[in-house]
Amino acid sequence: MALWAALADEIAAFVLAGCCAGCDAPGTLLCDECRAALTAEPVHTSTPDGMPVISALAFDGIVARCIRRVKEDGETLLARPLGAALADAAAGLLAVHPNALLVPVPTSAASFRRRGYRVPDLLLRRAGLAPARLLRPTRRTRDQRDLDVEERRRNVTGSMRARHARDAGDVVVVDDVVTTGSTLDEAARALTAAGFRVCGAVTLAATPRRREF
Ligand SMILES: [Zn+2]
């Protein structure tokens, strides 16, 4: 009986876990090798407007697959290892600006309805950090994927507003993936207009295209 119970437990664990998000190895949500590939190796870049950006990981291979599983397939369990990488990348900025609020780039109403969660906020919370939701989208934007740098800038200009605060202090902008950096610049513009001091941005990943800048 004990053997059957143990087998049943193993089958249940297998069915629940599915396969590795990074490499499809069966029986685990994330295998040891893929988990190791999610260890932060921070890359420093800057946006078109010159804001410093720290990205935990390069958006390709295993990392890209895991991020897509969170963003497109609702696999929120992966937000914990990915959030840990984001927190590692943020640690350097937070050491210099210990009182900075972590402000996620806002999620569109349509994306929030589809997923039921906001990806940057979820990553921060899973890492034990508190997102400060100071930014709101003010209008719809187009899907950025096929747009070049200038088109992206135009697409996001004026698309966010920051809540005004009497004691506006230091802030760090947080997003999941940075491509050209135009969305981060727009977030910084809105926060600066509301009186906040923007110390920089932290993202979970940077696209290879971004790293060519
Ligand atoms: Zn794997």
> What average pLDDT does the segment 54-72 reach?
96
Least confident of 2-11, 19-28, 127-136: 2-11
169 CA from centroid of ligand 1 (Å) = 41
Which residues touch 201 (CB under 8 Å, ≥6 apart)? 47, 51, 52, 53, 54, 172, 173, 174, 175, 178, 181, 184, 187, 188
Pick the CATH number of 39-140+147-211 from 2.60.40, 1.10.1060, 3.30.1360, 3.40.50: 3.40.50
180 CA from centroid of ligand 1 (Å) = 29
> What average pLDDT does the segment 36-55 reach?
96
24 CA from centroid of ligand 1 (Å) = 6
> What average pLDDT does the segment 177-181 reach?
93
Q: What pLDDT sits at residue 1?
A: 58
Instruction: Give ranges for CATH 3.40.50 in the chain.
Output: 39-140+147-211
40 CA from centroid of ligand 1 (Å) = 17
Number of other residues whose CB lies within 10 A of the CB of residue 209: 12
Helix locations, 53-197, DSSP H:
61-71, 79-96, 109-115, 119-126, 149-156, 182-193
34 CA from centroid of ligand 1 (Å) = 4
- 67 closest CA partner among 108, 30, 93: 30
35 CA from centroid of ligand 1 (Å) = 7
Is the entire prediction scored with pTM above 0.75?
A: yes
Written as one string, the DSSP assignment of 77-108 is GGHHHHHHHHHHHHHHHHHHSTT-EEEEPPPP
141 CA from centroid of ligand 1 (Å) = 35
14 CA from centroid of ligand 1 (Å) = 15
